[in-house]
Structure 1
Amino acid sequence: MSKLDFKNAVKRNKNLRFGGYATIVTIVVLVVLVVVNVLFQQLKITIDLTPNKLYSVGEKTTEILDGLTQDVNIYGIYSPGTDEQGDYNPQVKRFVTSYVENSSRLHYTQIDPLANPTFTKQFTSDTTDSISNGSIIVQAADSESFKILTLSDFYTVSTNSSTGSSEVTAFSAEEALTSAVQYVTSENNPIIYQLTGHSEAELDSTMTSYLKKSNFDVSSLDLIRPAEGEDAVTLEANNYTIVMINNPQSDLTDNEYEILLDYMEKGGRMLVLVESDLPSLPNFEKLLTRFGISVERGSVWETSARNYYMYPNLVIPNYGDHDITSDMTGANSYLLMLNPAALTVSEDRNRATTITPIMTTSDDALIKGDPESTVLAYEEGDTKGPFTLGLVAEEQKSLDNSVVTAKMVVLGSSSFIERNSGTMLQGNYTMFINVCDYLQDEVSSLYISSKSLVEDTVPVTTRTIITGGAVFVILIPLAVLACGLVVYLRRKHL
């Protein structure tokens, strides 16, 4: 064998050996992938690779599902083929089927309303009512309690400020389904009674929807004249009934005052929202004073740039140390209060009453003595801060051989929960839901944030554009050319 033939043979053997190794590695990788895929299918392991983890659940949901003591049946109402049609039905179905895998107490069944037309009748209040295709029914297995979720419950729809058209912006499936599970498994669901008859502000539809998603029933309360055909409401002090007084414009009657005072003395729960232009209301103010709280007239201005947004009367409050504010951290926790009222604590209050500030201003805040003034600085006649914008009052007492706890939360703004005020941030919703949860003894908020379906955009300034252009168009190409030139010159002189 010539020297050249020997070299070629060695080369062929090396190529054969390396080719054999590559083939073996490829086969091993394929076998591993097949085995892993089979294991994932058998063990029902899935990985959520969506940007916002659309099909995964958070810690709150996990905690709630782990605490279930009864089975819950979830029914998907889909006529043949509709569960895979469009963008929304398949997404909801995928979430629901993934959701039930988080607890052995959850059971999902898909119902064809055409093949089983009588099934949904047990969930309708009237024979003429119907349940729409694509609905999800959640029912406790041990009771008749159920909740019907329509497709709209699984999505958040917002109005585009540029076009005026409505568009789907968030996926609310986890929030809707977890709230429904809690609703059907709870013995007593909390109720909020909105006091009426004094020109109070009403909760708007958006906030009412958020409350209902958090399992609060919302109803009106007229202590003078109940609605036609309805019996007068008998207020029962317990840990799931909340009376809400939202910026009243006329005073309570003596009888109303006595009813509400008796309710609170027996361990009632009350939420009060006021504005800085609150009129003189002796009985209403006497009710607040009983728990050591009074309202200052005149709106609060902030002069600290950290504590207002655009205008000094659009205040960003600081948070106090309380269960209500314990999760109010991060950028999404900010809330805005327009022309808020300052609240004060009476020195001669009942010493059994514990009062805790939950929202305050900076030390540089002011209440302008002259309401027409536009001077963003202290003037003679102004009142200097800091001021309190939110207070919690608690009072424990012995009643009928048991200990009851009365709770009152007073907030110095009513408009901060009005969507039309233009001041609603995520923190506004969170704060309000947290307050309601605290009043009904549920420290852990039921509110679960929706998952955005809108791609996040990063605002870029002109300066950033110029800087980025210089880096990517000039500096980086020059660096590449320089490196290439250095390599070329070195090789040339080898």
Structure 2
Amino acid sequence: MSEKREHNLGKKIKSSFQSRKFKGGAYATIISSVVIVIVLLINLFVQELGIKKDLTADGKYSLTEETKDFIKNINHNITIYYLVESGGEIDEFKRIVDNYDNLNSKVSVKYKDPVQYPKFATQYVEDEIGAQSFLVVNEDTNVAKYIPYQNLFDYEINSSTYQYDVTGLKVEEQIDAAISFVTNEDLPTVYTLTGHGEASVTSYLSGLYKDNNITATEFSSLTAQSVPEDCDVLLINMPQYDLTEEETAFLKDYLAKGGDAIFFVDYVTNSLPNVVSLLNYYGVDVVDGLVVEGDSQYTISSRYPTLLVPKISSHEFVKNIKDKKYIVVPVGSGLAIRNDLRDTIETNTILKTSDKAYSKINVNSTVAEKEENDIPGTFILGLEVKEAVGEKETRIAVYTGKAFLEDQYLKTTSFGNADLIINTINAMSGQENALSIRSTSLDEPMVSMNTAQKDRIGLVTVVLLPLFFLATGITVVVRRRRK
């Protein structure tokens, strides 16, 4: 009896190995094993070849298209030295800098150990050299620029700990600026007008100038007789007190000789007749009041209708901003082009509101809605004026926004305010190949949506989808009951 049981058990075991279920399972196991082996072999092969792919959502470790185009057009022999002890490379630094090695045969990346070669960099620069830094050298001219470790990050003060937190990576930005520095003999100089209650240049904006090889200094027209000769661009940043007749005359003379200027204006500007006369001479009117946007698609939030997100036109000042970033115009006044333009003047609109905007005459009003005396839009929020002057050309950019150049709007990487001011300066000063690359945020990217987009998504997820599932459920129940 026991022999028969053993025979039947053996027969069952044997038949189980021959069953369709076992064969299917065995086949699946073999396929899975083969796939795992193939994946392992591919990983080993890719690792051996040093192939890497940046899969981060915002391309943290890839170069921007602007940088790629810039490097491909370099005609000098450039060497980028990563100064680091062998084996101590920071992976993020290495992954970014290695991208420069494959774009142009004239641009190369080399690693140099500052411990093993402590005096290597001193043949090019006088800076105190540290590890985890970069040195960019123009081998044709021997001009070099050193980038210390601390300049490769963005920092912000943590309001809880009062310590500086690292918030962004600036490797690409700093290397691009260094290459631009060593290949460019004529770097721009910006003079900022002072003495009339102008908004001060913040430390972040000063750093932005430095990172982009822009020399910036202050200039008081109260004590000077003329604009300095080496001024490429004059910045007039929201004066709160008027110019004198003498100041107005020599600023007008500077512009009439082909000088370039950037004006930032606000709702105070129209109370300054000499400033207004200077703008009027070049065909620009400042509209009374401050702009309120009636279309929430063009604001940061429907709760803040004076934090404007304008439409961006095609223009060289916004070449790397349009369709990529927002520009925020906080508490701005409207601009308009005068009807009595001289034939020699050309104007180009850069930023504008929707046709639902209006200018609130009473800037102290607590009512956001349009009132009887308010002026209906559309309004210009940024424009360029050009006028030929013999062989030269006067270029004036006029932007509006009370806090346009404050840190909170310059630092935010999804905003294009910093790019706009740097682009404007570079274009006016003839820096055709200059870049405006911002730091890469180390935070996980968040989806940015305007109010209308939020409302549409809310409608779909909160109303339409539940209704769809409810209708589907009712349909299924009704059909089952009928059966």
TM over 0.5: yes
Q: Structure 1 residues 283 and 122, CA, compared in 2 at 3 Å: closer, same or farther?
A: farther
Q: Structure 1 residues 296 and 199, CA, compared in 2 at 3 Å: closer, same or farther?
A: same
Q: Structure 1 residues 371 and 248, CA, compared in 2 at 3 Å: closer, same or farther?
A: closer
Is 1:320 the equivalent of 2:284? no
Q: Structure 1 residues 164 and 243, CA, compared in 2 at 3 Å: closer, same or farther?
A: same
The equivalent residue for 1:289 is: 280
Rounded to whole Å, the distance in 2 between the matches of 1:454 and 1:220 is: 35
| Contact 2:329–2:400 (CA under 8 A) maintained in structure 1 | no
1:31-430 to structure 2, matched below 5 A, reads 45-79=51-85, 83-84=88-89, 89-125=90-126, 130-160=128-158, 165-225=163-223, 234-236=228-230, 241-278=232-269, 280-308=271-299, 309=301, 310-330=303-323, 332-338=325-331, 340-399=332-391, 404-419=392-407, 426-430=415-419
Candidates 443, 447, 452, aligned match of 2:441: 452
Q: Deviations over 1:204-230 (max 9, x none)?
A: 12223233333323222234547xxxx
Rounded to whole Å, the distance in 1 between the matches of 2:325 and 2:304 is: 20
Rounded to whole Å, the distance in 1 between the matches of 2:390 and 2:274 is: 26
Rounded to whole Å, the distance in 2 between the matches of 1:130 and 1:163 is: 31
Q: Per the alignment, in what secondary structure is the counterpart of residue 99 of structure 1? A: helix
Rounded to whole Å, the distance in 1 between the matches of 2:36 and 2:445 is: 37
Residue 252 of structure 1 and its aligned partner are, at CA, apart by 3.3
Q: TM-score, normalised by structure 1?
A: 0.74
Q: Deviations over 1:402-427 (max 9, x none)?
A: xx221100112241120257996613
- Which amino acid is the alignment partner of residue 359 of structure 1? L
Residue 329 of structure 1 and its aligned partner are, at CA, apart by 3.9
Q: Deviations over 1:359-384 (max 9, x none)?
A: 22222322233344333333332222
Residue 457 of structure 1 and its aligned partner are, at CA, apart by 5.6
Q: Deviations over 1:230-262 (max 9, x none)?
A: x9973257xxx2111111233334444343333
The equivalent residue for 1:436 is: 425
Residue 185 of structure 1 and its aligned partner are, at CA, apart by 0.9
Q: Per the alignment, in what secondary structure is the counterpart of residue 156 of structure 1? A: strand
Structure 1: stretches of 5+ with no match in the other structure:
1-7, 13-18, 480-494
Rounded to whole Å, the distance in 1 between the matches of 2:42 and 2:367 is: 73
| Contact 2:270–2:286 (CA under 8 A) maintained in structure 1 | no
Q: Deviations over 1:127-181 (max 9, x none)?
A: xx62233221112112243222122332222345666553223322222212211
Rounded to whole Å, the distance in 2 between the matches of 1:325 and 1:132 is: 37
Identity of aligned residues (%): 28
Rounded to whole Å, the distance in 2 between the matches of 1:377 and 1:51 is: 40
| Contact 1:194–1:220 (CA under 8 A) maintained in structure 2 | yes
Q: Per the alignment, in what secondary structure is the counterpart of residue 415 of structure 1? A: coil
| Contact 1:336–1:423 (CA under 8 A) maintained in structure 2 | no
Q: Structure 1 residues 454 and 376, CA, compared in 2 at 3 Å: closer, same or farther?
A: closer
Rounded to whole Å, the distance in 2 between the matches of 1:258 and 1:235 is: 16
Q: Per the alignment, in what secondary structure is the counterpart of residue 82 of structure 2? A: strand
- Which amino acid is the alignment partner of residue 437 of structure 1? N
| Contact 2:57–2:445 (CA under 8 A) maintained in structure 1 | no
- Which amino acid is the alignment partner of residue 450 of structure 1? S
Q: TM-score, normalised by structure 2?
A: 0.76
Rounded to whole Å, the distance in 2 between the matches of 1:297 and 1:450 is: 37
Equivalent pairs, count = 439
| Aligned-CA RMSD value | 4.3
Rounded to whole Å, the distance in 2 between the matches of 1:150 and 1:186 is: 21
1:450-489 to structure 2, matched below 5 A, reads 450-456=439-445
Q: Structure 1 residues 294 and 100, CA, compared in 2 at 3 Å: closer, same or farther?
A: same
